[in-house]
Structure 1
Amino acid sequence: MFAVVRTGGKQYRVAAGDKIAVEKLAGEAGDKITLGEVLLAGDGGEIKDAAGVLVSAEIIAQAKSEKVIVFKKRRRHNYRRRNGHRQQMTLLRILSVGAEEKKAAKKEAAPKAEAATATAADAPAKKAPAKKAAKAADAE
C-alpha cells in the first residue's frame, strides 16, 4: 500500500519501508511520529479513499542537506557576494501505511458527567449578596 503525504510544503509518495528526507520536524532520533496530511492512498493499481489512512514514521536523524551556493553579481560595479546555505532536514523511515485504528470509547466518562450534574442539583441555591442592601441602608 502507498500514500501521498504533504509535509514541509512538499508532497511525497511513501510506502512501508521507504526512507525520505523532509523539512525539519520536531523530535529526536528514534521518536515515532505520524504524518498528518494524507492526500491520496492506493494499493497496487487502484486508488483508495485517503480518509482514515494513517502514515507512521520513525525519525532516523536530524541533519543538514547539501550546501547550496548563492552568488550575486552586478557587472561593471565591482559587486560580488558568495554565500552558502545548508537547509535543516529530518530523515524518516516509513513504518506503516494503513487504515487508522479506531479506539473504543471510554465508558467511565459518561458516569462522571452524570455525577457532576447530580452534585450541582444537590447543592443548596446561593443567596444574593447583601452588599446592595447594605449600601442602600447607608445611603438613607
Structure 2
Amino acid sequence: MYAVIRTGGKQYRVAPGDVLKVEKVVADDNGTVEFSDVVAASSEAGSFADPAGAKVVASVVGDGRGDKILVFHYKRKKQYKKLQGHRQSFTQIRINEIVVGGNSYTAQ
C-alpha cells in the first residue's frame, strides 16, 4: 500500500512506516500531522484507488535545518560579487496510517 501526497510544493510517494524529510509543517498538540492532499493511492500493484477523501496521518520525529547552500552572484568586468547562504528548514515525519475509501492501512 502506498500513496502520493503533495506538501511544500513537492510530491512524495509514502507507505506506512516510511520516515522522510518534508518542508517545515506545523504539528498539532499530539505531534501528529494529517495530509489531506492525496494525489494518488494504490492498495495493490497495478491498480489505483480514488484519492477523493483519502488522508495520510504521520507523526513528527524531529525538526531541523538542511545543509548550507551557497548562492554566488558575479558580473565580470564590473567588480560585482555577492555571496549569500541559505539553509532550508525541514520536519522529519514517520507515516503511521493511510486511509483510503474507509479502509485504514497501518505499519506492521
- TM-score category (smaller protein): 0.7 to 0.9
- TM-score if structure 1 supplies the norm length? 0.66
CA RMSD of aligned residues (A): 1.8
Shift of 1:24: 0.7
Larger relative strand fraction: 2
1:18 corresponds to which residue? Answer: 18
Per the alignment, do residues 29 and 15 of structure 1 end up closer, same or farther by CA in structure 2, a change over 3 Å counting? farther
Name the larger-Rg structure.
Answer: 1
Identity %: 37
Larger relative helix fraction: 1
Shift of 1:98: 2.4
Give unmatched runs, 5+ long, in structure 1. 102-140
Kept in 1, the 8 Å contact 2:2–2:15? The answer is yes
- TM-score if structure 2 supplies the norm length? 0.84
Partner SS, residue 48 of structure 1: coil
Deviations 1:60-98 (A, max 9, x none): 111111111100000011111111100111111101112
Deviations 1:42-77 (A, max 9, x none): 023111111232210001111111111100000011
Per the alignment, do residues 29 and 74 of structure 1 end up closer, same or farther by CA in structure 2, a change over 3 Å counting? farther
In 1, distance between residues paired with 2:52 and 2:7?
17
Higher relative contact order (CA 8 A, sep 6+): 2
Which amino acid is 1:97 matched to?
Answer: I
In 2, distance between residues paired with 1:24 and 1:96?
20
Give matches, 1:14-93, under 5 Å.
14-27=14-27, 31-45=31-45, 46-93=47-94
In 2, distance between residues paired with 1:89 and 1:10?
13
In 2, distance between residues paired with 1:14 and 1:82?
37
Aligned structure 1 segments of 4 or more residues deviating by more than 2 angstroms: 27-30, 98-101
Per the alignment, do residues 88 and 78 of structure 1 end up closer, same or farther by CA in structure 2, a change over 3 Å counting? same
